[in-house]
Amino acid sequence: MPNPLFQLPLPLFILGAGVCGVFYLFIYDQVRPVSQKQLRHIPELRFEESNATDRYLRDTRSLLKIGYEKYLRHGTPFQMRNPIGEMGPQVFLPMKYLDEVKRAPKSLFSFDVFSEKAYLLNYSHGPRQTDAAVLVIKDDLNRNMGSMVNGLWAETEACLEENVSSEWKTVPAYLFICGVVARTVSYALVGPSLCRSPEWQRIVIEATYAVFGAAHAIRGQYTPRWRWLARWANSTQKQLKQIRSQAAELLRPIYNERRGAVLGGSNFGNPSDMFHDTVYWLLGRKQADRSLAGIVDQELFLSMASIHTTSGSLNSFLFDWMAHPEYHEDIKAEVRETLAKVQSSGGKWTLQHVALMRKLDSFIKESSRINPIGFITGQRYTLKSHTFKDGLCIPAGTTILFDADGVHHDPDNYTDPERFDGYRFLRLRDTIDPNRFHYASVSDTSLNFGAGHHACPGRFFNALVVKFFLIQLMTKYEVSFEDGNRQRPPDDFHDNNMRPDTSVKIQIRKLD
């Protein structure tokens, strides 16, 4: 590969050489990832035959099952090759360390630094998580969901009606679902008017691809020592710049309106009753970057964090629903009974109505246990060497994580764990605790949304989005696999993630 430095103009060459020297001597050298030698006290897990890097991208689940049974289930950590080789080996910790990791400060175990290194955010300059963005989801969104529930229902209903007729239509399942989710999630992020914009929906869907694509391109074109050049010489920067520019133009009217309300314009009565979206809430938080550019970046981050994860989960739920018709009659009866109660309440949904559908809730939680979109949780980058209470030492520069999939298939946690049991969690709620085991709950045996203080703050809104889609689909539409198959199609695997095959098509039509 030719040295990219020598492809630049001479003035930039001279400036870059000096900056690069400072960067390498004082920054890069201080954040070296852990080496295998430093982790020699932790057993290594590897494939017995071919141990090629690509196997750690496509066969991870099978290897993790071995590691869970051999090590984690017995309280022993193990190290495993990271397909991103420059980050060093990754260390999987048994669950006995979870509480210590949850309580540890960000200055010790950092998710933000893990994200920076995994997605090269310091070089791609993609949107980042901010404290303000997390707080508006954890506090404002969750507090206002009761006021938003009917708008979300109406948005889901309208989106499906606009895109599906009484004639059979063949569509790629993931793209279809992603389009609906982009609109319904954006309802909470930017409000009812902008969420309906096809251009906005396109931008927030493409933003994730742009950031991941930028990381992939930079990692492929530059060694760590030369990545500072990507800011000027990489085409992916242009795509992200264009996305930000287009998003700013679309968001500007919403931004100006919400900003006027926050500043106390006389045309607004009580703006808190008028606006239920993250643009308004971010503008009301002092710790947020409240410039238009700052709000755009936070909206893009929130979209990236929610749209494709929700779409992947919903796609998986739909495939399991289609593959398990034995649950249809019973769950549809529960849904119709709930819809009747909504009608008797003037056609207005409440969160209490949603909570009545316990069978549906149990079904999607079981789907997420058996067919998760991710196998791991608690990803953190170790910033300082740390010794756990039992003496285990984790050197600085180590990526640590927990095997959620192993926990979810542990017979000590779930009876007959390999079998799909759509009412598994319904029975647990009936026999152990009615307030636990629902779809959005987290515990040491239910880790799809993370754990403890770091659990996904948007999981309750996620539950509303997926349930409203499924309710509409099962009561107003007919859907089948294009090829007539009745089984769940094989999934795609990449690194520690699993997704339904995005090439799978479904047929859908509106019921008469």
Task: Tell me how far apart the alpha carbons of residues 467 and 460 are, in angstroms, rounded to a whole number.
Answer: 11
Q: Does residue 80 lie in a domain region?
A: no
Q: Does residue 36 lie in a domain region?
A: no
- Looking at residue 148, its pLDDT comes to 96
Q: What are phi and psi of 86, to 5 degrees?
A: -65, -15
Binding residues for heme: 456
Q: Could you tell me the residue range of the domain that residue 171 belongs to?
A: 125-374+411-444+448-510
- Looking at residue 234, its pLDDT comes to 64
Domain count of the fold of the chain: 1
DSSP reduced 3-state for 413 = coil
Strands 376-382 and 109-110: antiparallel
Cα first-last separation, the chain: 61
Binding residues: 456
Q: Does residue 487 lie in a domain region?
A: yes
101: number of Cβ within 10 Å: 22
Task: Tell me how far apart the alpha carbons of residues 467 and 476 are, in angstroms, rounded to a whole number.
Answer: 14
Which parts of 316-357 are beta strand (E)? none
Read off the tokens for 494. 């990449």
Q: Does residue 104 lie in a domain region?
A: no
DSSP state of 30: G
Q: Does residue 18 lie in a domain region?
A: no
- Looking at residue 193, its pLDDT comes to 96
As to burial, measured by CB atoms within 10 angstroms (0-12 exposed, 13-18 middle, 19+ buried), residue 444 is middle
Q: Does residue 475 lie in a domain region?
A: yes
Q: Does residue 301 lie in a domain region?
A: yes
Q: Does residue 113 lie in a domain region?
A: no
Q: Give the CATH number, domain containing residue 209.
A: 1.10.630.10
Sequential pLDDT tens for the chain (512 residues):
444 444 444 444 444 444 444 444 344 435 578 998 999 999 999 998 888 888 998 899 999 999 999 999 999 999 999 998 899 999 999 999 999 999 999 999 999 999 999 999 999 889 999 999 999 999 999 999 999 999 999 999 999 999 999 999 999 999 999 999 999 999 999 999 999 999 999 999 999 999 999 999 999 889 888 988 887 776 767 889 999 999 999 999 999 999 999 988 655 556 667 899 999 999 999 888 999 999 999 999 999 999 999 999 999 999 999 999 999 999 999 999 999 999 999 999 999 999 999 999 999 999 999 999 999 999 999 999 999 999 999 999 999 999 999 999 999 999 999 999 999 999 999 999 998 999 999 999 999 999 877 799 999 999 999 999 999 999 999 999 998 888 999 999 988 999 999 999 999 999 98
Residues 6 or more apart in contact with residue 389 via CB below 8 angstroms: 100
9: number of Cβ within 10 Å: 9
**How big is the chain by its Cα radius of gyration, in Å?**
24
336: Cα within 13 Å, side-chain hemisphere: 9
